[in-house]
Chains A and B, each alone.
Chain A
Amino acid sequence: MIEKTDVVIIGAGPVGLFAIFELGLLNISCHVIDNLDKPGGQCAELYPEKPIYDIPSRVSISGQELTDDLLAQAKPFKPVYHLSQQVEKIEKLESNEWLVMTSLNQTIQAKCIVIAAGAGSFVPRKIPIKDIEQFEEKNILYAVRNKSILEGKKLLIVGGGDSALDWTNELSKVSNVTLMHRRKEFKASPDSVSKMLELEKDKKINFLMGQIQNIEGLDNGKIKIVTKDNEEVTNFEVDYLLPFFGLKMELGPIANWGLNLNQNLIAVDTEKFETSVKSIFAIGDINTYPGKLKLILSGFHEAALMAQECFKYCYPDKKNIFRYTTSSKELQKKLTSI
């Protein structure tokens, strides 16, 4: 099924969320796509607790508070969020509209695309070993989608954060689990840590201090993992390796859409923030222009100007009358109608 909207926003970070608001003021509806399982982008994923001091009028605000407030501000305009998926392909229709297709097979038809993808989408950080691709999906899992395939198998889980510990605790019930981390301290919820230590004491799991050095494929379908702790090398033969090294950001499929790029940033003009392709806009950290500053507040400004140009694509026959939220009865009605 194809869903229809005026604008597809790629990226639910602070600038993408504010774009919903600015477009909404002009009666433009939005669908928002993000690869994370929650809105907020870097603010919610990398530094939810860290204070930000340069949002106008906010003396100090945490990444999560900023996200929550932007979500509340956008809510009257009823945005539709498509989370945990990445835009894989876009296609121009004869009507000059766009079809946007995601990794979860969602297809959305829109008049404009607004790329607010920050430093790219968050993907699991991969182990920097040459030719590791041959083992991915087969023996190396960066996420557990189907627990049943791990039953009765020998696993090596690597990492010291919540994902590594939660999966160690969970999978210890059905699999032979070894947890490896580079030190004996963990950055995870105290509950998960004490549970894991208990499992280790009861010999339900093994804990090993070390780091991955190399991975080799074996004829029996398993993999041999060479691990190292200081100078001590240990070899492991396992069915699956589950590395949890957090997330990293990468531009992904956007790089292949024929937009003019400048060092992996999307070149835009400073009047409309439109890319080299008509009706595709780029705002926030992902764009570049002379004098660009990667600040959330610059992204907010870019969102407001972008919306003015989007209006022309969405309502080609209508005149855009500039109105303030302080004076427009119509806008006030919309904004207080939650």
Chain B
Amino acid sequence: MKILVTDREGNNHVLKGDNNSTLMEIIRDEGVDIEAACGGCCACATCHVYIDEKWVNKLNPKDDDEESMLDQAFDVKKNSRLSCQINLNDDLDGLKLELAPE
């Protein structure tokens, strides 16, 4: 499974995903700079990403916790997600996203 990530400097990375991981874990463990301060329990907003429009509806939907946590993020857009709340699966091969600022 390939995940295409654009980092904050605009560099593109092709990461190898698997269906046991969350999106944040793949980004973090593959060495792309993402803070993810709380470690994935939806308690901060430092793994904020923008999902490519084409992929937004293919992801597991946002729950209330994630929506509330996004209140602490900046420049929140319609395609904003916290990457720790996105479960990967084979249907997401080719998922494209961009890290949000800060």
Instruction: Kindly list chain B residues whose C-beta atoms are within 8 Å of the C-beta of A249.
Output: 37
In the complex the two chains form, what is the Cα distance from A187 to B96 in whole Å?
30
Q: Does chain B have a CB within 8 A of A211?
A: yes
Interface size class of A (residues with CB under 8 A): 20 to 34
Interface members, chain A 203-246 (any B CB < 8 Å): 211-212, 245-246
Taking Cβ atoms with an 8 Å cutoff, the residues of B that contact A are: 37-39, 41, 43-46, 67-68, 70-76, 101-102
B75, A119: Cβ atoms closer than 8 Å: no
CB < 8 Å: which of A47, A246, A294 contacts B72?
A: A246
Instruction: Kindly list chain A residues whose C-beta atoms are within 8 Å of the C-beta of B45.
Output: 246
7 further contact pairs, Cβ within 8 A, besides A160-B68, A182-B70:
A46-B41, A119-B37, A128-B75, A161-B71, A211-B75, A212-B74, A248-B46
CB < 8 Å: which of B44, B76, B102 contacts A211?
A: B76
A–B pairs, 11, beta carbons within 8 Å: A42-B38, A47-B41, A128-B75, A128-B101, A160-B68, A187-B71, A211-B76, A212-B74, A246-B44, A246-B72, A248-B44
**Count of inter-chain pairs, beta carbons less than 8 A:** 48
Q: Do A128 and B102 contact each other (CB < 8 Å), given the known contacts A46-B44, A182-B71, A245-B72?
A: yes
Q: Does chain B have a CB within 8 A of A181?
A: yes
- 4 cross-chain pairs, A with B, having the tightest CB-CB distances, nearest first: A128-B102, A46-B43, A246-B72, A187-B68
**Chain B residue nearest to A120 in the complex (CB):** B37
Q: Does chain B have a CB within 8 A of A329?
A: no
Instruction: Kindly list chain A residues whose C-beta atoms are within 8 Å of the C-beta of B38.
Output: 42, 46-47
**Chain B residue nearest to A48 in the complex (CB):** B43
Q: Do A245 and B43 contact each other (CB < 8 Å), given the known contacts A47-B38, A119-B37?
A: no
Instruction: Kindly list chain B residues whose C-beta atoms are within 8 Å of the C-beta of A159.
Output: 71
